[in-house]
């Protein structure tokens, strides 16, 4: 059977995501994959920013289409004057005036609020960063989600007007963080400068995440891993944005008469890393005990080991722990171990159940199997299989509740 002939080569320009350079980006990778599948896309130009010179180059190269990151009204007007299809992949303008594919910025802020509320936080610091409409959208949805939850939240704001921070701005940030009543959570509408901000929290005498948990409504894996500890962030799904931007541009180049529509890509969820690996507990003794349990859950510890870390009796600690977290220390430790076992089962399929038990603090494979089945509803082996196949795990009984322990699969 003869192959369908490939359409003529389409010359594509990129402004705002330089795929012609070696950059580790899910967005760029999605563009390259689509081009390979389509078979007739050729990237002829890439630039970091939409400037007058970049627009001239696009014209001179006689592009068939371009993917562009629009960051101003002026840039939008200039792009509309080009004689070939343009797709914008930025959330900088609420009405960009061009066919646009962008992240669900309201959902990103809401995810961060839900994540922190589930961990018991009621005191928040919120940075107002420079940027486009997306900063406002994420921040407003974060605050709205707190209010919608009906909590009596204490929210303190700080405006940061430049990046990188000037010495005076760093000093102002440190003073502001030091004045937050702990435990508190810090909301960043973007991961811009996040590694420096976490360092400044520590400079201000605040431990991350024990005193200040930090979450960003937008994150890149590379930035998150450069933070210490790793930065929790809402995943805007760069790969899906790249894919759908490419598909829209391809349709426009093929004659689609789509006007200035806006396609919103759902978030891929919240990536919880070390910067929020805690729960909000006002009692400092209980907080110290909870932190010890969380850090050592994968080891062969017991309640006596926890008691030795604090300066009160076991009876007083157990009473305070139950009052603060709504569960016993024994049950809390067991739930931590179950969550650790699930993570190992999900991410390291080659580990044997004996190794999973050892690395998650259980005495052995049989003990892991019994407790896992009792709390989750299925045996570890079955859970691993269903999790890898993307099936819904039935009968999980490790709800987050007051303990802030995730039960998502």
pLDDT tens per residue, range 244-303: 999 999 999 999 887 789 999 999 999 999 999 888 888 889 888 888 998 898 898 889
Q: Are residues 376 and 340 in the same domain?
A: yes
Q: With 50 as the cut, is the pLDDT of residue 3 above it?
A: no
**For 34, phi and psi rounded to 5 degrees?**
-60, -45
Which CATH number do you get for residue 296? 1.10.10.60
Q: Are residues 301 and 396 in the same domain?
A: yes
CB contact set of 55 (below 8 Å; sequence gap of 6+): 78, 79, 82
Q: With 60 as the cut, is the pLDDT of residue 407 above it?
A: no
Place of tokens 């409504």: 217
Short-list 176, 192, 70, CA closest to 125 = 176
Can you tell me the mean pLDDT for 353-358?
Answer: 92
Q: What pLDDT is attached to residue 389?
A: 62
Please provide the average confidence, as pLDDT, over all residues in the chain. 87
Q: Are residues 206 and 306 in the same domain?
A: no
Q: Are residues 294 and 388 in the same domain?
A: yes
Q: Which domain covers residue 43, as residue numbers?
A: 10-103+238-266
Q: With 90 as the cut, is the pLDDT of residue 42 above it?
A: yes
CA distances from 262 to 87, 88, 102, 258, 266 (A): 10, 9, 7, 10, 13
Q: Are residues 232 and 242 in the same domain?
A: no
- 203 falls in which pLDDT band (50, 70, 90)? very high
Q: What pLDDT is attached to residue 18?
A: 60
Domain assignment of residue 398, yes or no: yes
CB contact set of 330 (below 8 Å; sequence gap of 6+): 303
Q: Are residues 387 and 358 in the same domain?
A: yes
Domain assignment of residue 173, yes or no: yes
Q: What pLDDT is attached to residue 174?
A: 97
Short-list 46, 104, 49, 125, CA closest to 263 = 104
Domain assignment of residue 3, yes or no: no
Higher per-residue confidence, 395 vs 25: 25
Q: Are residues 229 and 298 in the same domain?
A: no
56-80 per-position pLDDT tens digit: 888 888 899 999 999 999 989 989 9
Q: Are residues 193 and 219 in the same domain?
A: yes
Q: What pLDDT is attached to residue 8?
A: 84
d(CA 233, CA 230): 10
Domain assignment of residue 408, yes or no: no
Q: What pLDDT is attached to residue 211?
A: 92
Q: Are residues 99 and 121 in the same domain?
A: no
Q: Are residues 348 and 376 in the same domain?
A: yes
Higher per-residue confidence, 4 vs 324: 324
Q: What pTM, to 2 d.p., does this model score?
A: 0.79
Q: How many domains in the chain? A: 3
Which CATH number do you get for residue 85? 3.40.50.2300
**Cβ contact 251:258 at 8 Å:** yes
Q: With 90 as the cut, is the pLDDT of residue 153 above it?
A: no
- 391 falls in which pLDDT band (50, 70, 90)? very low
CA distances from 65 to 41, 81, 87, 251, 263 (A): 10, 13, 8, 11, 18
Q: What pLDDT is attached to residue 404?
A: 53
Short-list 148, 145, 90, 86, CA closest to 116 = 145
Query: What is the percentage of the chain residues whose pLDDT exceeds 70?
Result: 91
Domain assignment of residue 249, yes or no: yes
Query: What is the percentage of the chain residues whose pLDDT exceeds 90?
Result: 57
């Amino acid at each position: 059977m003869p192959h369908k002939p490939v359409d003529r080569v389409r010359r594509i320009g990129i402004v705002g995501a330089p795929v012609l350079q070696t950059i580790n980006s899910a967005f760029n990778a999605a563009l390259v994959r689509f081009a390979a599948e389509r078979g007739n896309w050729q990237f002829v130009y890439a630039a970091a920013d939409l400037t007058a010179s970049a627009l001239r180059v696009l014209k001179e190269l006689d592009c068939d289409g371009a993917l562009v990151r629009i960051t101003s009204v002026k840039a939008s007007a200039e792009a509309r004057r080009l004689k070939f299809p343009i797709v914008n992949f930025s959330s900088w303008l609420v009405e960009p005036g061009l066919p646009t594919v962008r992240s669900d910025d309201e959902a990103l802020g809401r995810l961060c609020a839900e994540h922190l509320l589930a961990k018991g936080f009621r005191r928040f610091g919120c940075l107002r960063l420079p940027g486009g409409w997306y900063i406002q959208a994420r921040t407003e949805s974060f605050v709205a989600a707190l209010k919608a939850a009906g909590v009596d939240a204490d929210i303190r704001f700080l405006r940061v007007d430049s990046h990188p921070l000037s010495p005076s701005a760093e000093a102002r940030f440190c003073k502001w963080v030091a004045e937050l009543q702990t435990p508190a959570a810090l909301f960043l509408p973007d991961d811009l400068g996040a590694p420096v901000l976490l360092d400044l929290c520590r400079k201000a005498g605040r431990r991350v995440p024990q005193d200040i948990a930090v979450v960003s409504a937008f994150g890149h894996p590379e930035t998150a891993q450069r933070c210490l500890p790793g930065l929790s962030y809402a995943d805007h799904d760069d790969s899906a944005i790249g894919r759908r931007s490419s598909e829209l541009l391809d349709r426009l180049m093929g004659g689609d008469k789509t006007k200035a529509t806006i396609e919103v890509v759902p978030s891929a969820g919240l990536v919880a890393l070390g910067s929020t690996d805690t729960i909000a507990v006002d009692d400092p003794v209980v907080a110290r005990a909870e932190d010890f349990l969380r850090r050592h859950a994968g080891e062969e510890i017991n309640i006596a080991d926890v008691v030795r870390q604090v300066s009160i009796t076991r009876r007083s600690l157990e009473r305070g722990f139950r009052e603060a977290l709504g569960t016993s220390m024994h049950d809390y430790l067991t739930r931590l171990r179950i969550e650790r076992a699930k993570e190992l089962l999900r991410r390291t399929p080659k580990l044997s159940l004996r190794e999973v038990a050892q690395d998650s603090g259980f005495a052995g494979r049989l003990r892991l199997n019994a407790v896992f089945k009792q709390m989750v509803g299925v045996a570890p082996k079955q859970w691993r299989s269903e999790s890898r196949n993307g099936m819904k795990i039935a009968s999980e009984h490790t709800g987050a509740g007051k303990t802030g322990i995730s039960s998502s699969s």
